[in-house]
Structure 1
Amino acid sequence: MQGRESRSATAESTAPLPFLVSVVAAFSAQLCSFLCRSRWEGERKSVLGEGEDFSVSGSVFLRSSGFWELFLFWDMAWVRMGKKRGTGPGFWAGPQIEQHIQWKLQAGNCSFWWDNWLGSGPLAQFTNNNNRFNNSKVADFWEAGKWSWSRLLEQAPASQLSKILTTEISPHQHLPDQAVWNLNNHGGFTCSPALEEIREKKAKKHFNSQLWHKNIPFKSSFLLWRTLRGKLPTNDKLINFDIQPSNCVCCFDKSGTDCIEHIFNSGNFAAKVWSSFAATTGMLPDFSSLQVLLQQWWTATPKNAAHKLLMQATQIFICWNLWKNRCAAKYGGKTTNISRVKYVIYKDTYKMLNTAFPQVRWLTKWTDLIQMSER
């Protein structure tokens, strides 16, 4: 008896994602309920056709206005999983997307109040009348192939009457209403413009674009990206966890603190490295902040493509090797060495130029490398 109970408990504990199974089952039930609701009954017949199965014509149904209400279910599912509305994968975007769907009237089966068939949005937004909550279709306001003045006068918003009366009634009333996606020239729905519409995009900054290049190793660019955002295990972050600040290990006298600005910019060791490379380019480094120092290199006028890449990548390699030197001294027991750091910076730059411009025979000294890239 105990063995049977233990096997049962084990089986329950290893059940494959029971919550996900329940979500999928609930989604299927929700889909069926939407197809059967009275509001969408006419739309189901017009879009899918009599007797057609959803698995055959499901892609057509995805372009119908009723599909977007299914996102509400997914939104609630994310809430049940402990996530706030709006923090999910972007599914709760029905209203944002539906405003770009306009219905081309033919059979008149789309919703009179809630579908954008007039071109100015749903009619429900122009009135507070309770009639907007019924399931009226556009065809309900037609009589003998014309607009029913009496019905429109009784229910439709007065501000939209003239626009409604000038809307032509299609002679092809045996065809279903057609959804037109306004964000495409061809009118068919695609995910790319929908994603562009709903996602929040920050303005592109030229400064951030300088961090990345196909010939610069990702690890070096990513480190500088983390550095500029303060996402390194230095005193700047560790004090938030009540960890006592530590002294620097990068400088010979170890007089500074182990913080980002000291490691990469204002420390004696970092300043000597920056000054050594800046001198060959004719620049006087500004150590007021790391961002100012980087911007000084990136705003310099390049002479050609090779010089532009060198001016973009050198400071990334400098930061990468300053960090390696700090970690080797802090965790590897190595003595900080400025000659070693300057050599590996040159070596990384030399390898990059050979990869990007293999037709050029690059010289093996840093000063010659700079002068050659400027020609």
Structure 2
Amino acid sequence: MDRIPTVEALARRGMVVADSECCFCNSGPDSVSHLFSSCPFALSLWEKISLWCRVLNFFVLSFRDLVEIQNNGSRKESERKAVQGVIYTACWLLWKARNNLRFNGKRSSVEEIFSDVRKFSCLYWPAQFSGSCVSNKVLVKKKGTTNNATT
């Protein structure tokens, strides 16, 4: 996981970065492990996603646990791929939000990121969602309506 250029990874490569704290919570290191599996901000996002995808016990202790969570439980292959796609999309959007906050000072809410996870998951992983653990009517948001994580 050293390939993701967090402050911790950059420091191991000999680069000096002034602010080494997580920009979401300011109480942990800017590391892959913290950002994706122990930051309270990310944990709030994973809770919403676990309810939306109907994945119980969505507890992760490491980034590896997170990207392998779709293998837990007894799901059909299409459901596993759908959950995997949602997780990859959420990781990408968390990373984008982190960069937007760190470099542009623009903070996203968990709800905004979760909304984007639903939208982008529908765009990037549409074949996986047909008959999967994620309801198509939850993925498609009509203008002027709101979607709940538990719909």
Report what 2:143 is aligned to.
none
Report what 1:172 is aligned to.
none
How far 1:285 sits from its partner (Å)?
Answer: 2.3
TM-score, normalised to structure 1's length?
A: 0.33
- d(CA) in 1 for partners of 2:89, 2:128: 18
**Contact 1:314/1:349 (CA < 8 Å) preserved in 2?**
yes
Is 2:31 the counterpart of 1:262?
no
Superposed CA offset, 1:271-314 (max 9, x none) = 11111111341411223212123322233322362x23212211
For 2:122, which of 350, 362, 369 is the aligned residue?
350
Equivalent residue pairs, number? 136
- d(CA) in 2 for partners of 1:359, 1:336: 30
Report what 1:235 is aligned to.
7
For 1:362, which of 132, 136, 142 is the aligned residue?
136
**Contact 2:8/2:20 (CA < 8 Å) preserved in 1?**
no
- d(CA) in 2 for partners of 1:292, 1:357: 21
- d(CA) in 2 for partners of 1:358, 1:233: 31
- d(CA) in 1 for partners of 2:89, 2:119: 10
How far 1:353 sits from its partner (Å)?
Answer: 4.4
- d(CA) in 1 for partners of 2:74, 2:129: 24
CA distance 1:359–1:291, shift in 2 (3 Å)? closer
The higher radius of gyration belongs to 1
How far 1:344 sits from its partner (Å)?
Answer: 0.5
**What RMSD in Å do the two structures reach over aligned CA positions?**
2.6
TM-score, normalised to structure 2's length?
A: 0.75
Is 2:58 the counterpart of 1:290?
no
CA distance 1:348–1:300, shift in 2 (3 Å)? farther
**Contact 1:298/1:311 (CA < 8 Å) preserved in 2?**
no
Unaligned runs of 5+ in 2: 141-146
AA of the residue aligned to 1:329: L
**Contact 1:275/1:284 (CA < 8 Å) preserved in 2?**
no
CA distance 1:308–1:249, shift in 2 (3 Å)? same
Question: In structure 1, the residue corresponding to 2:28 is in which secondary structure?
Answer: coil
**Contact 1:317/1:349 (CA < 8 Å) preserved in 2?**
yes
How far 1:357 sits from its partner (Å)?
Answer: 6.6
How far 1:266 sits from its partner (Å)?
Answer: 0.6
- d(CA) in 1 for partners of 2:150, 2:82: 13
AA of the residue aligned to 1:256: G
Is 2:90 the counterpart of 1:318?
yes
Correspondences of 1:1-375 after superposition (within 5 Å): 229-240=1-12, 241-244=14-17, 246-251=20-25, 254-280=26-52, 281-303=54-76, 305=78, 307-354=79-126, 356=127, 362-363=136-137, 364=140, 365=147, 367-368=150-151
- d(CA) in 1 for partners of 2:41, 2:55: 20
- d(CA) in 2 for partners of 1:310, 1:236: 31
**Contact 2:67/2:84 (CA < 8 Å) preserved in 1?**
no
